[in-house]
């Protein structure tokens, strides 16, 4: 089975490095982009399964990038990252097809769980069935 692919889009290098390490160690193939143009090139070329997308990126913002991703392939799962209480933007992102959002600074374990849930669905979690 080929590895699931995760694309991390954030203009902050530290966050990209951290998330690349976390998701590489989870066994995913990871890609990173510091801006929208690069992100969309990777989406077209590598067709990631899931994108972690920062809301505030200079140039093309997260909502615009999200719209483009969904135009290229609407099956790509997108989780937004935001540093602010931008509730209107978060609502719009959800309307555009984002699954959920994490507010920075986020809990890295929560994000890892969320990504694993999205990409592995039930199969890897079945061992942790509650009440069995």
Using left for φ > 0, alpha for ψ between -120 and 50, and beta otherwise, residue 27 falls in left
- In this prediction, residue 85 carries a pLDDT of 67
Residue 62 belongs to domain spanning: 5-128
What CATH number is given to the structural domain containing 86?
A: 3.40.50.2300
- The total number of structural domains in the chain stands at 1
Beta bridge partners of 6: 30, 50
Spatial CB neighbours of 113, under 8 Å, sequence gap ≥ 6: none
Per-residue pLDDT of the chain (132 residues; tens, 9 = 90+): 789 999 999 999 999 999 999 999 999 999 999 999 999 999 999 999 999 999 999 899 999 999 999 999 999 999 999 887 677 889 999 999 999 999 999 999 999 999 999 999 855 443 444 443
Burial zone of 54 (CB within 10 Å; 0-12 exposed, 13-18 middle, 19+ buried): buried
- In this prediction, residue 126 carries a pLDDT of 38
- In this prediction, residue 87 carries a pLDDT of 77
């Amino acid at each position: 089975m080929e590895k699931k692919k995760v694309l991390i889009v954030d203009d902050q290098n530290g966050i990209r490095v951290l998330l690349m390490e976390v998701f590489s160690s989870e066994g995913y193939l990871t890609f990173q982009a510091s801006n929208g143009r690069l992100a969309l090139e990777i989406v077209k070329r590598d067709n990631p399964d899931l994108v972690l997308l920062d809301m505030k990126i200079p140039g093309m913002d997260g909502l615009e990038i999200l719209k483009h991703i969904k135009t290229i392939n609407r099956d790509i799962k997108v989780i937004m990252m935001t540093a602010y209480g931008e509730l209107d933007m978060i609502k719009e992102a959800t309307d555009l097809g984002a699954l959920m959002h994490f507010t920075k600074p986020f809990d890295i374990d929560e994000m890892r769980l969320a990504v694993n849930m999205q990409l592995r669905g039930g199969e890897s979690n079945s061992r942790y069935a509650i009440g069995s």
